Amino acid sequence: MRVALSTMLDTSAERAWAEVQTPRLLDHVAWPVLTFRYIEPVGLVWPEGVHRALLRGFGVLPLGMQRIDISKPMPGPNRYQMRDNGSGDLIKRWDHWITIEPIAPDRCRYTDEVEVSAGIFTPFIWLFALVFYAHRQSRWRALVKSGFAY
């Protein structure tokens, strides 16, 4: 099942792209719904490849291991994209695409698209993804408004 949500950010596409490539941003926008404990150090910028993290719901509920598989397709003339073709103990497929498109010099469209599959739990995971990405985008907008004060 697929979820797609977009929001407008009052920042340049280049700045949004620089931020989206950092684990710090993921930790910030996912909090407090999900917290990540990375098994291996990931550095300041997501390198392409597979990264493993232990997930917790609201910092306390163990949700198992998540495989984060980062790739960064070549940017097009009017967009940046990053993909996490992940999976986990609870979710067999979490194929998440982030697309950032410039709208004006200091404004961009940010889109989350995710395809989820979790067997009989897929409808529940789909509903979670819908709520989770709305939460993330709200946190994104607040972060931009704060001047990226993490």
The whole-model pTM stands at 0.95
Half-sphere exposure of 62 (CA within 13 A, CB side): 4
Per-residue pLDDT of the chain (150 residues; tens, 9 = 90+): 999 999 999 999 999 999 999 999 999 999 999 999 999 999 999 999 999 999 999 999 999 999 999 999 987 889 999 999 999 998 999 999 999 999 999 999 999 999 999 999 999 999 999 999 999 999 999 999 999 999
Q: Does residue 150 fall inside a structural domain? A: no
Q: Does residue 29 fall inside a structural domain? A: yes
Structural domain boundaries, residue 36: 2-145
Q: Cα–chain-centroid distance for residue 49?
A: 15
Q: Does residue 141 fall inside a structural domain? A: yes
CATH number of 114's domain: 3.30.530.20
**Which among 59, 64, 101, 60 has a CA at the least distance from the CA of 86?**
64
